[in-house]
Chain A
Amino acid sequence: MTASPSLVARTGSLFHRYANPGRFLRLAARLQPWLTGLALLFTFAGLGWGLFFAPADWQQGDSVRIMYVHVPTAILASSGYAALALCGLLSLVWRHPLADLAAVEIGPVGACITAVCLATGSLWGKPMWGTWWVWDARLTSVLVLFFLYLGHIALIRAFDDPQRGYRAAAILALAGAVDLPIIKFSVQWWNTLHQPDSITLTGAPTMSSSMLWPLGLSMLGISLGFAAIVIARLRAAVMESRVRSLLSNPRRRGDAA
Chain B
Amino acid sequence: MTHLPYILASYGLFAGLAIALTVNATLRLKTARARLALLERPSSRPPGASSSP
Contacts and interface: CB of A to CB of B under 8 A. Distances in A.
A126 B51 CA distance: 65
B32 A246 contact: no
A229 B2 contact: no
Contacts of B42: 257
Contact of B13 (A43, A120, A229): A120
Nearest to A52: B1
B8 to A, nearest CB: 10
B26 A232 contact: yes
A164 interface: no
A253 interface: yes
A23 to B, nearest CB: 16
Contacts of B44: 253
A123 B46 contact: no
A225 B14 CA distance: 12
Query: Of residues B3, B44, B53, which shows the largest number of chain A Cβ atoms within 10 Å of its Cβ?
Result: B3
Q: For chain A, what secondary structure do more than half of its interface residues adopt (helix, strand, loop), or is it mixed?
A: helix
A51 B40 contact: no
Nearest to B15: A47
Contacts of A247: 39
A108 to B, nearest CB: 8
Q: Give the size category of A's interface with B.
A: 35 or more
Interface string B11-53: 1011001100110011011011101100111101110011111
Contact residues on B (Cβ < 8 Å of other chain), bracket: 35 or more
A124 B36 contact: no
A242 B34 CA distance: 12
Nearest to B30: A236
Nearest to B21: A229
B39 A61 contact: no
Given A62-B4, A253-B44, A116 B25 contact: no
A162 interface: no
Contacts of B33: 239
12 contacts: A47-B11, A56-B2, A62-B4, A63-B7, A116-B13, A123-B13, A124-B6, A239-B33, A240-B35, A243-B35, A250-B49, A253-B46
Interface of B: 1-4, 6-7, 9-11, 13-14, 17-18, 21-22, 25-26, 28-29, 31-33, 35-36, 39-42, 44-46, 49-53
Interface of A: 43, 47, 51, 56, 61-63, 65-66, 69-70, 73, 109, 112, 115-116, 119-120, 123-124, 126-127, 225, 229, 232-233, 235-236, 239-240, 242-243, 246-247, 250-251, 253-257
